[in-house]
Amino acid sequence: MTHGGAGRLPDLVRERVHRRRAAARQMLELVPYAGAGLVAGTLAVHVVAGVAPVVFLVGTALALPQVVSGALPPALWVAIAAFLLQQVLAPLQLVLSREIARRVDAACIERLTRFTLDEATLAGLERPDVADRLTQVDEAFEQWTWTPGTALEGGLALTARYVQLGGAVVLLGWAAGPWAALAGAVAALVARQGQAEAFHRWGALWESFQPARRRVAYVRELATSTRAAKEIRTLGLVGWLQDRFATETRSWLEPLWTWRRRVYGAPFVGHAIAALLGSAVALLLVVDGGTDGASRLVAVSVAVQAVVLCARFGVMFPESDIKLVYGRAAYTALQELEATIREQAGATADRVEAPAPARDVTFSGVTFSYRPGRPVLDGVDLTLPVGTSTALIGVNGAGKSTLVKVLAGIYAPDGGSVTVDGVDLATFEPRSWQRHFAVTFQDFLRYELDLRDNVAMGAISHRDDDEGVVAALAQVGLGGLLDELPLGLDSPLTRAVEGGRELSGGQWQRIALARALFAVRHGASVLVLDEPTSQLDARGEAEFYDTFLELTRGVTSLVISHRFSTVRNADRIVVLDGGGITEAGTHDELVAAGGVYAQMFDVQARRFADDGAPHVPDLKGATL
């Protein structure tokens, strides 16, 4: 048992040294964001702020004998000047520290944005461990409390504390001898070590509960946002939501409280006792040594105040400790996110710009799984000839939307390949390939921005093309919307902004379609529409598809829909079933083949049958 304890101590020491080095490396990485000049200036101010209390201590001690006799010695004025200097430096320290935090956080937010929007894969962001870290970083910047910038700010602020401690130990050695100085230093460092270790353990525990805190945040967002307000009120979920919030909150707070007692219980008492004993020894040495007279009074006064400064080193430093623990945790989470990118760097370093497809885009034996052993796409073989329209159908969950994401380079296939004019899509830089796309996803976003931006996001570099925005709106049947909006294209599409207006579900879908057509207008050569008319009424759907082929002539288009009136006019229709393409052909060819397509078409067609017989009527121009 003793051997195990003896062996464990060096491991703890090594672990703490490793942790301190890691923290130092992180702080050094953040310094360039703040600027070396600003950091150096702030350090200088912190050093002076740490020296000022020591000068005040010495000045008051030297002035005390003369003040008692009624004189106003120069040492007293020095003490007053040191005190006033502290008051002047305090706000300066705050201003400089906040500027450092602002600069660092601005750089880190840019890194986070670049990671999530430009470098990270969608599959990577959907991993639970990545989502936890991303939430942790996002929370830090949302609350603006414990960020990487505050970590550097807090680390630099420790300079004043340690300068003050160094001055106190020197004065203690001068006034009461080296053993008193050693006792005071040990008391201070033991107490400080206790605080630092407790904060480290507490920070690690806080981070370990991130999944539970993410669940609590989700429930809280449901209760406080307008996103789910209609369903919550209509379904009477208020009481259930309150109970769920309380349950989820207790699920992590109760064990956290238990661990807090362990962290700040016996270990904290042990460090406090050790610090008190060290301080007591230092005071005893102060009392026991020295000479008599005025010099003795000065020495004792200096020594006692120095011991008090050492003893106070064991308290929490609000300007540093919390910021260092949680701010570093946020930066560590950001680094871990970026480590995921570095793992993929070898596969993406040599990628080239993707050309617009000239002949075809081909899937060859493509497989893809969200979970191992459960493929969504399993050996997909499909060719999309350039300049033609292809319709993709299949039951819910067949993998249609997943196929679109693989086509757009959002997901990389687990097996097989996607080629563009015979060149593997994996050799292209994903963003350059996606610039050729105009996509309307099934779960399209409703941006709380003005009408112009909502349409122009299809080709945002052409945001000033008001004529094109108006034309796209007219093409999707929203030409009259401009007349209804007092601010025209500048009208915000949300009631949360003054003068804004909310749109219906069908109008929002038309906006998404206009966004795609605006992208086609400005050079997108591949158009993908995933359930593009699911929220339109029968007339709106018919009107859109009457003009769809004309609007997209010469564009390579892929349309996903459950409505066969939507897909029947496509140049070719393919059926995705069981993870692969099982049928391909024109509408008439597939109906004649009597396969899955014919069965699904027959189900929709029956409602138009006069006698209920399973015959297939001519539905050209009708809406199913």
Question: Exposed, middle or buried, 110 (CB in 10 Å: 0-12/13-18/19+)?
Answer: exposed
Instruction: Specify the CATH class of 16-340 in words.
Output: mainly alpha
| DSSP one-letter code for 547 | H
- Residue 491's identity, in one-letter code, is S
CA 446-448-453 angle, to 5 degrees, is: 85
Instruction: Specify the CATH class of 444-524 in words.
Output: alpha beta
70 or 381, which is more confident: 381
Lowest average pLDDT, out of 247-251, 276-280, 413-417, 533-537, goes to 533-537
* 584 HSE (CA, 13 A, CB side): 11
Instruction: For 447-495, give the DSSP string.
Output: -SSBHHHHHHGGGGGGTT-HHHHHHHHHHTT-TTHHHH-TTGGG-BSST
Residue 2 has pLDDT above 90, yes or no: no
Q: Average pLDDT in the 579-604 region?
A: 87
> What whole-number distance in Å separates Cα of residue 326 and Cα of residue 306?
31
Query: Who's near 580: CB < 8 A, 6+ residues apart?
Result: 377, 378, 379, 380, 381
Categorise residue 277: left if φ over 0, alpha if ψ from -120 to 50, beta otherwise: alpha
Q: 0.75 exceeded by the pTM? A: no
Lowest average pLDDT, out of 127-141, 524-538, 551-565, goes to 127-141
Fold of 355-436+525-537+554-624: Rossmann fold (3.40.50)
Give the pLDDT score at 609: 54
How does pLDDT run across 313-336, given as a tens digit for each residue?
767 787 888 888 888 888 888 887
User: Which of 119-128, 161-170, 279-288 tops mean pLDDT?
Assistant: 161-170
Is the separation of the CB atoms in 21 and 13 below 8 Å? Answer: no
> What whole-number distance in Å separates Cα of residue 25 and Cα of residue 20?
9
Residue 279 has pLDDT above 80, yes or no: no
Residue 616 has pLDDT above 50, yes or no: no
Give the pLDDT score at 620: 38
- Using alpha carbons, select from 564, 567, 571 the residue that is nearest to residue 616: 564
- CATH 3.40.50.300 in the chain is located at 355-436+525-537+554-624, 444-524
How does pLDDT run across 464-519, given as a tens digit for each residue?
999 999 999 988 888 888 888 888 898 888 887 777 888 888 888 889 889 989 99
The pLDDT confidence band at residue 624, using thresholds 50, 70 and 90, is: very low
Q: Average pLDDT in the 207-229 region?
A: 78
| DSSP one-letter code for 365 | E
- CATH 1.20.1560.10 in the chain is located at 16-340
Residue 48 has pLDDT above 90, yes or no: yes
Give the pLDDT score at 143: 66
Query: Who's near 487: CB < 8 A, 6+ residues apart?
Result: 450, 499
| DSSP one-letter code for 117 | I
Q: What is the chain's mean pLDDT, rounded?
A: 81
Give the pLDDT score at 417: 92
Lowest average pLDDT, out of 26-35, 302-311, 407-416, goes to 302-311
Three-state SS for 548?
A: helix
